[in-house]
Chains A and B, each alone.
Chain A
Amino acid sequence: MMSDCLRHQVPEHRSAIVSAEALYPLIELLVSNELGTPEAAARALTHLARADGEQQTASPASPASPGASPTAPRTASFRRTSSEISAEISAEILLGEHGVLDEEGAAWRKSAIDNASGVKWLVHMLDGSNLSKGKHLLKPPAVGGWPSLRVGIVSCHETEEIFPGSNVDFGAKIGMQEQAAVRAAAQDF
């Protein structure tokens, strides 16, 4: 079975996924109340929005981590939040790697995500209002709101620490909204 499968030519995956009409279902999942589902959908959209030349190295191991898979999940310390993922994908959609719309395929996919209201819901993910269908109500802690996450970014603070570690563990999330706003502002509409 496996050998039969591997004999086939493998098409460009991103195009194949989009051609199979995955964008709308993925964007619909951005407003799912299932814990972790919007993040998974946003991550998929992130990769779909990338230019065709941008992908994980297909080599089975990287020099920095011998034996590690290129698609292996990151450790818990690298676990990213909704706002981080949505900021990244928003920037990916608005701009190519060099600040301009790039390859035709990637530009088309980005445009398709935007046209399907993907950017709108990704922006809502920045403050968690995607879970309340765009109404600006902060996510309750029970479904993973920021207060429950005790999130913050090391070395990304606007205010003095009240006590060591307070910005990371108890401070408001600082940086991701600004990053998304800066990238959005750089785009000519």
Chain B
Amino acid sequence: MLSAKGSSVPLLASMVLFRIAHHGAELVNAIVACDGIEPLIKILVTGAPASKQMAAAIIAAIAMVRAEPHLRASWSESSDEL
């Protein structure tokens, strides 16, 4: 959705991701694990003004946390249960 054509869909996606990114390190790491950085940076360059702001805010949230080994282990366990 971040890479969708037009301005409204990437904006909507970035707004949702912004909310997600501010609900814990696990979700931030999930965004990164899903290759979310690249489309966010593409929005920084070519997105609509509002999308750019959202993308910058998401990148700030991503840069704030770092994956911890024990979290990776817990994700593996929890994802096995999903």
A and B assemble together: yes
A→B interface (CB under 8 Å)? 1-14, 16-17, 20-22, 25-26, 29, 32, 34, 36-37, 40-41, 43-44, 46-48, 50, 52, 55-56, 58-60, 69-73
The answer, yes or no, to whether B13 is at the interface (CB within 8 Å) is: no
Q: How many chain B residues touch the partner (CB < 8 A)?
A: 43
Contacts of A21 in B (CB 8 A): 41
Given contacts A13-B29, A13-B65, A50-B63, 7 further A-B contacts (CB under 8 A): A6-B78, A6-B79, A7-B75, A44-B57, A58-B66, A71-B23, A71-B24
* CB <8 Å contact, A34 and B63: no
B→A interface (CB under 8 Å)? 21-26, 28-30, 32-34, 37-38, 40-41, 44-45, 49-50, 52-54, 56-57, 59-68, 71-72, 75-76, 78-80, 82
Q: Nearest chain A CB to B26's CB is how many angstroms away? A: 7
A40, B22: Cα distance in complex, Å: 14
Q: Nearest chain B CB to A117's CB is how many angstroms away? A: 16
Contacts of B79 in A (CB 8 A): 2-4, 6-7
* CB <8 Å contact, B63 and A10: no
Contacts of B45 in A (CB 8 A): 25
* CB <8 Å contact, B64 and A55: yes
A139, B77: Cα distance in complex, Å: 52
Contacts of B67 in A (CB 8 A): 9-13, 58
Contacts of A44 in B (CB 8 A): 56-57, 59-60, 63
Taking a contact as CB atoms closer than 8 A, the residue among B22, B26, B49, B76 that contacts A32 in the complex is B49
